[in-house]
Structure 1
Amino acid sequence: MLVKLRQIAVPPGQKVLLKDITWSEFEAILQELGEHRAARIAYNNCTLEIVTPLPEHERNKEYISDFVKVLLEELEIEFCSLGSTTFRNKNMLQGVEPDNCFYIQNEALVRSKNRLDLTIDPPPDLALEIDVTSRTHPNIYEALGVPELWRFERGELQINVLQDGKYTEVEYSPNFPNLPLKEVIPQSLKQCQKEGRNKTMKAFRCWVRSAIA
């Protein structure tokens, strides 16, 4: 007797790998899992990974996402944050759910769309992954053509830019040039733990205004 997906429990911080999953099975699994769930998925050439994040992961995701939003707001750049939307490309047999993602340069192209198809729509301009559970799949983001990938791991921020189909780590984000975010964002995360979210966000916003003045 086959085990139904809802019978599989994935403890926080753990993952389950399902191999030899066809694309139609992958889509059926997504439908069964539903949109309102804690687990994140990644699909790479018929292997499906299901991960349930830890509280630390979710907290850092929210804080770093808020920092990105502050940056875009202060730079007066329109953006669309789509959270952990499932991005997939049937032709490439690739699918992933980032911790968060942002349409920036291509925001206007997706502004009015409620469904995205990466065979015709552009990928997000910036994807964010928190590597508390080591679930980032750079190769999937490379295949999907995501121009910029941020990875936060062990207290450090890594900024990766897609060049010739592969990610290269850089010092400055192309979306926020000349801003030392690799230093400031980890420092601000520590400040959140000491002084609280609201006080830190106000201080971060003041820093951005000063830096871009």
Structure 2
Amino acid sequence: MVTLQLRQLSVPPGHRVILHDISWQEFEAILEELGEHRATRLAYSQGTLEIRMPLSKHEVAKVIIGDLVKILLEELEIDCEPFGSTTFKREDMACGVEPDDSFYIQNHVRMIGKERIDLRFDPPPDLVIEVDVTSKTQLDAYEALGVPEVWLYEDNKLKINILQDGKYIESEISPTFPNLPILQVIPQFLEQSRTIGRSPTLRTFRQWVREQIIL
């Protein structure tokens, strides 16, 4: 059997590597070796490990969507604790995943001041954002961890996945923002940012949200 070290593995931007028959101990060792300050994203489910290297356009999209969510939460006066691309994992469920962005909303009070998360005792994030998802490994991990709401953005379209009876179903409405047309406005303003830039787009979006609150 040939043994390779992670430093010998190079994942080009926009590509992924899938490794099979990876034990939990090996997954933990890989997390330790790669460290926290890296560009790659990992997803692990039932022995399958995926290592992804996002493209720059992916990073821009995830930042803008995260900014839009934060504006929604601020203007609607919904408290939250953002946890970004934290590694969420549970050994007893043999799964772990690193979202593009994540928010504790309903459970935000429990997470104030938390520096380390143990999902045996802590709740999973209430809302997770993923950009350019092509992996079943990621969604399997989110299902196992019990993440209530996952937004998937791909090909200029947004999908809202809601957890029901342990499985995700697509929804036209976000339970977090039930009175707003999230499926339409998030892609619309993200596309606008590509034309007029991030800051003008966020200002325009904030004004739009305020108008919806008045209506």
TM-score by length of 1: 0.97
| Structure 1 residue 25: Cα displacement | 0.9
CA distance in structure 1 between the aligned counterparts of 2:42 and 2:188, rounded to whole angstroms: 30
Unaligned runs of 5+ in 1: none
CA RMSD of superposed structures (Å)? 1.1
Give the match's secondary structure for 2:18.
strand
Identity, % of aligned positions: 56
Unaligned runs of 5+ in 2: none
* Aligned equivalent of 1:150: 151
Displaced runs of 4+ in structure 1, greater than 6 A? Answer: none
| Structure 1 residue 135: Cα displacement | 3.5
* Aligned equivalent of 1:17: 18
Give the match's secondary structure for 1:43.
strand
Give the match's secondary structure for 1:177.
coil
CA distance in structure 2 between the aligned counterparts of 1:78 and 1:135, rounded to whole angstroms: 31
Give the match's secondary structure for 1:150.
strand
CA distance in structure 2 between the aligned counterparts of 1:135 and 1:103, rounded to whole angstroms: 24
* Aligned equivalent of 1:192: 193
Number of equivalences: 212
Deviations 1:134-184 (A, max 9, x none): 246222111100000000011111111111111111111111112001111
Q: Does residue 36 in structure 1 map to residue 34 in structure 2? A: no
Question: Is the contact made by 1:51 and 1:135 (CA closer than 8 Å) also made in structure 2?
Answer: no
CA distance in structure 1 between the aligned counterparts of 2:110 and 2:135, rounded to whole angstroms: 29
CA distance in structure 1 between the aligned counterparts of 2:193 and 2:47, rounded to whole angstroms: 40
CA distance in structure 1 between the aligned counterparts of 2:124 and 2:185, rounded to whole angstroms: 27
Instruction: Flag the 1:135–1:57 CA change in 2: closer, same or farther, 3 A.
Output: farther
- Output the amino acid matched with 2:38: R
- 1:1-213 alignment runs, 5 A limit: 2-131=3-132, 134-135=134-135, 137-213=138-214
CA distance in structure 1 between the aligned counterparts of 2:185 and 2:114, rounded to whole angstroms: 34
- Output the amino acid matched with 2:134: S
Question: Is the contact made by 1:42 and 1:50 (CA closer than 8 Å) also made in structure 2?
Answer: yes
